[in-house]
Chains A and B, each alone.
Chain A
Amino acid sequence: MIYKTDLMATEIDTILRNYTPGKRDQLIPLLQEIQEKTGFLSEDSIVEVGRYVGLSTTKIYSLATFYDEFRFLPAGKIQISVCNGTSCYLNGSKAVIDKLKEETGLLPGQTDRDGILSYEVVTCMGGCNHGPVICINGEYYTKVKAEQLPDMIRKLRYIVDNG
């Protein structure tokens, strides 16, 4: 575990070096890059960024929590995005989201304890004719029905468990 944080610290250091210190307008791209490279915004990284940009940690935290993009826990190995745009909603995305809630016991944006599964709700993916659309690790599934989800998740879990 110590090894992992160390690794993260050096990674954050290398990211920070690409940005000018003390410039506030760089803050969002900086946080975005950290999240992209390390998967989430850890406590350490927020402190580190605050020191670099010259802002208090609370200010950075207040900024990061305002936006939907930032997560403060690592995403699961299976990351599901459910489209809840108008067209998908009209075709029954609510049932899909409810089923996911029931099946995983998680709220959108949360990750389960073993770090395998997480899901989020997005507004429109642009596949309006094929709704409800869900996206699992970059692969799209169209016209998804709530009943299919338990099977899908079971299969994915099996794949993750067995490498």
Chain B
Amino acid sequence: MEDLKKYLLENVLLHESDTLSDEVEQVLQKIRREKPDRPVIFLSYGTAGQIAGSDKTFQAMKTYFSENRYDAEIVKMGCSGPASFEPCLCIQLPGKNKLFFRNITEEKVEPLLNGVFHNDINKDDLTGQLGTKGFGLWPGVQFLDELPFFSYQKRVVLGKCGCYDPESIEEYIARGGYRTFVKTIRHYTYEEVCEIIVKSGLRGRSGGGYPTGLKWKQVLNSDSSTRYLICNAKESDPGAFTDRVIIENDPHRLIEGIAIAAYATGAAQAIIFFHRGSDHIMQRLEKAIDSARSYGLLGHNILSSAYDLEIIIRKEPGAFVCGEETALISALEGRRGMPQLKPPYPTTSGLFGKPTVINNVETLMNVPLIMQNGPEWFRSLGTGNSPGTKIFAVAGKGRMSGVIEVEMGTSIRSIVEDIADGVKEGKKLKAVQLGGASGSFITPENFDIVVDYEELSSRNIMMGSGGFIIIDETICMVDLVRYYMEFMHAESCGKCIPCREGTGRMLEILESIIRKPASEDSGTTLERFKGVMQLETIASVMKDTSMCGLGQTAPNPFISALQNFREEFEEHIFDRICRANICRGLRSFSIDVEKCTGCTACASKCPVNAIYGTRLQPFFIVEEKCTGCGICYDICKFSAIKVK
């Protein structure tokens, strides 16, 4: 191992010219496992894979190989994106193209491997083959890059995700990693790096879209000798998991990006503010930092360039508001994570009063690519104002889900229809929600909107951190808005009144809409309607007067839902019906006398004893007692229970 390290350092990282000798290339090829002499199985071992059971698949494969005495290598890889295919694996037989299989659970391992080794492949689980020059084709097997899920994507930042063993720094170096960083600190000055990033037009990917190069320049030009770089890897938006997937699958690229950014701003200390509750990912990141340090790429006097850098990881203690820059700094300083008034901006007075750059994970992942390929290359991607790509976590009711990357300028329609392949089970598509808990809804009429900072902000839509939720007709918009408001209310830090009280009042009013009315007289309807009228006022006051982004954007889901789905709100208030049958308080059940056999199944399960009757005679439901929980509906074997 030590020999290999020395070899890689001397012949690859410190090698002056861009082209490497054939002999070195061959060594690298071996590390990349490009021409294996025995079967290699690459198992997707990301969080999504582990949740789906890839651990059991791994054990099953190990037993299979030891029982059958096959000589094969199993490599735990990162995840390549399609979460619906987990646990997925890839098999490479010597001299043949890689084959990808999906949903390989424990019990499928044996038949699958038997099939592959005896040239009889089960087509049901097959995703496709990866065409590589000089390797044998599998006849009649679709190519992976022809699948719509991949062909409509532009995987640049995610390019290495799922292609290499994320725990091996050697493999990252063999795939060209860290060479850009070494080249940067040897050949470029701080100003030059900032200038390249300014020219590339890279914008912060965390939502606001502030030009990254300008931010760096502000810090570089400050007088203070101590500066900090913070990588904001805290994503606790419900339904967004892009940063964690990136770090899990390609930790070294992030470290390289941080190192270049810290160099460009002259920061000697970088802090990664990491998401709580993903300890295995944090361990992987720690391991990656340790191995980078052992290669001399971090620490004191990096590769004799007189530049020092330490990267430390700080686990966030669990508060959504800490995603806001000033609140994040408060948390790092050991105070309650509450936002401060801006200005002063962190670039002038940040952590411990020193100039601080705060960048998002995705932003920093772009940096090594720009330094490697040049700003013109980056400009050639995406649109004029928003160059590059954007990563989304597609989730919800789409047929495909997972982490995807598209070029800026791709339409929402293309993501929904081509990449996510429409909605599950033939249901009708209702909307897409972009930007997490404070994002807006986009209805199918507006699906031609493209992913671009200017275009989205002109329509009051936040790009957000990358949540992309596909919503179908089975979802009640009022209930969904209430869910987001509940989240925001719980996460409001309580510093400023509009946000603390506003989220609470809005939640109360939304809950009153979906609750079962206390009495049937028309006065309550009027009260509730008045509440809704006030909702709009509260929303606009919150937007104008809250101190930080959390409060200002908290009413967004409500405002856009009311704009696009006003009739659903009206139905809930006036007709007291929920068309998706989600809101329990508005459901009422009755028993079909024709169908009921009097089996007593529902009566015994009813939590409020609202079902009465005599055995073997039709039962009935007392409406006043019924809470609308729907247990009877689920339990009835004769579909005798009707929803009104």
With an 8 A cutoff between CB atoms, is B157 at the interface?
A: no
The answer to whether B51 and A124 touch across the interface, beta carbons within 8 angstroms, is: no
- Taken together as a complex, chains A and B put the C-alpha atoms of A147 and B86 apart, in Å, by 25
B587 on the A face (CB < 8 A): no
Q: Is A151 in the interface zone, CB < 8 Å from B? A: no
User: Within 8 Å of chain B (Cβ to Cβ): is A127?
Assistant: yes
Partner of B467, one of A25, A63, A86: A86
Question: Which residues on the B side are within 8 Å of A32 (C-beta)?
Answer: 315, 317
Contact A125 B396 (CB under 8 A): no
Instruction: Tell me whether A24 and B333 are in contact (CB under 8 A).
Output: yes
A84 surroundings in chain B (CB, below 8 A): 238
Q: Does the CB pair A90–B475 fall under 8 Å?
A: yes
Residues on B with beta carbons closer than 8 Å to the beta carbon of A123:
236-238, 320, 487
Residues of B in contact with A, size category: 35 or more
Which residues of the partner chain A approach B240 to less than 8 Å between Cβ atoms? 124
- Name, among A102, A123, A126, the residue most crowded by chain B CB atoms within 10 Å (CB to CB): A126
| A90/B237 in contact, CB under 8 A | no
CB pair B334 A25 closer than 8 Å: yes
User: In the complex the two chains form, is A87's CB within 8 Å of B395's CB?
Assistant: yes
Nearest CB of chain A from residue B485's CB, rounded to whole Å: 13
Contact A69 B317 (CB under 8 A): yes
Residue of A with least CB distance to B393: A128
Given A87-B396, A122-B277, A124-B240, A62 and B336 touching (CB < 8 A)? Answer: yes
A23 to B83, CA, bound (A): 43
Binary CB contact string for chain B from 42 to 86 against chain A (1 if under 8 A, 0 otherwise): 000001101111000000000000000000000000000001101
Decide if A26 is an interface residue (CB 8 Å cutoff). Answer: yes
| Nearest chain B CB to A135 CB, angstrom units | 8
User: In the assembly, what is the distance between CA of A90 and CA of B496, in Å?
Assistant: 31
Q: Mark B225-268, 1 if CB is under 8 A from A, else 0.
A: 00000000000111111001100000000000000000000000
Contact with A along B452-473 (1 / 0, CB 8 A): 0000000000000001010100
Interchain CB contact under 8 A, A85 and B336: no
Question: Could you say which residues of chain A place their CB within 8 Å of the CB of B238?
Answer: 84-86, 89, 123-124
Residues from 110 to 154 in B contacting A, C-beta threshold 8 Å: none
A67: which B residues are within 8 A, CB to CB? 317-319, 337
**Residue B483 lies at the interface, judged by CB distance under 8 Å to chain A:** yes
Within 8 A of A (CB), among B299-345: 314-315, 317-320, 331-337
In whole angstroms, how far apart are the Cα atoms of A114 and B276 in the complex? Answer: 28
Size of chain A's interface in residues, with CB distance under 8 A? 37
**In the complex, are the beta carbons of A29 and B314 less than 8 A apart?**
yes
Does the CB pair B51–A142 fall under 8 Å? yes
Task: Write the chain B residue with the least CB distance to A102.
Answer: B607
Residue interface mask A118-137, B partner, CB < 8 A = 1: 00001111111110010000
Residue A72 lies at the interface, judged by CB distance under 8 Å to chain B:
no
User: Is the CB–CB distance between B402 and A129 below 8 Å?
Assistant: yes
Check if A86 sits within 8 Å of B51, measured CB to CB: no
Establish whether residues A128 and B83, one from each chain, have CB atoms under 8 Å apart when the complex forms.
Answer: yes
Q: How far is the CA of A24 from the CA of B332 in the complex (A)?
A: 9
CB distance from A146 to the nearest CB of B (A): 9
Check if A27 sits within 8 Å of B395, measured CB to CB.
no
The answer to whether B334 touches A129 (Cβ under 8 A) is: no
B469-A86 in contact (CB<8A):
yes
Give A126 to B394 CA distance when docked, in angstroms: 11
B residues neighboring A (CB under 8 Å): 47-48, 50-53, 83-84, 86, 236-241, 244-245, 276-278, 314-315, 317-320, 331-337, 352, 393, 395-397, 401-402, 433, 437, 467, 469, 471, 475, 480, 483, 487, 493, 607, 634
Which A residues contact B (CB, under 8 angstroms)?
Answer: 23-29, 31-32, 62-63, 66-70, 81, 84-87, 89-90, 102, 122-130, 133, 140, 142, 147
11 pairs, A vs B, C-beta closer than 8 Å: A28-B317, A62-B336, A63-B334, A85-B238, A90-B396, A90-B469, A123-B487, A124-B237, A126-B244, A127-B47, A128-B241
